[in-house]
Structure formats: C-alpha cells, structure tokens
Amino acid sequence: MSETTIDTSALGEKIVKVLKTIYDPEIPVDIYELGLIYDVMVNEDFDVKILMTLTSPNCPVAETLPVEVEEKIKSIDEIKDAEVEITFDPPWSQELMSEEAKLELGML
C-alpha cells in the first residue's frame, strides 16, 4: 500500500469509535447513535470535517460539544486536523436515532 493511499474504511471506523465515546449530557446515549453526526469527510491531507447537529439550538453544550468532538478526533494518530460544522438543516429529530439508542431510551 503506497503512502498516498488512505484506508478510509479503517479510518472511518476509528472516527466512529471516537464519536461513540462522546455523549450528549442530557441523554445517556452517544452522539453517533443519537444521529447527531450528519457527515464525516476526510481529505488526502488527513484533515477531517464533521457536519453535525445538536438536539436543539439551545443545547447547553452548543459551545463545548463541537470543541470536544474536534479535540477527540484530532487525538487519532493519522488525523492532522479536525473541524466541526454545526447545522440545523435538517433539524434533529428522534427519527435520526439508531435502533440501539431508541431501545436504550425505552422508545421501542
């Protein structure tokens, strides 16, 4: 494997694993299972851009959660930089939650 080839699936798994360690403070479910992560992009320079939302625009962690996501993603060895963009389009809804999250919250 040449140095320019990125094993995106393995790197993607690492990113997801890290995202699953970050929890919404109001709901005992990680942000990945909650469906707060809309997109993860990695370029050839190993810069990661994450498009995510919050459960509400007034979320108490609106300031700190994106920073936590950036810091934890940057801690992955291969990653050079990480940027989080917050969007409310589409707005988050319980429909975005995984089956696992719904089960954990007694919604199934």
CA gap 67, 25 in Å, rounded: 14
**Mean pLDDT, the chain, as a whole number?**
91
Give the pLDDT of residue 41.
94
User: Please, what are the domains in the chain?
Assistant: 8-92 (3.30.300.130)
Q: Report whether 84 contacts 50 (CB < 8 A).
A: yes
- Read off the pTM: 0.88
Query: What are φ and ψ of residue 47, in 5° steps?
Result: -95, 135
Q: Report whether 91 contacts 53 (CB < 8 A).
A: yes
34-63 pLDDT, tens per residue?
Answer: 999 999 999 989 999 999 999 988 888 888
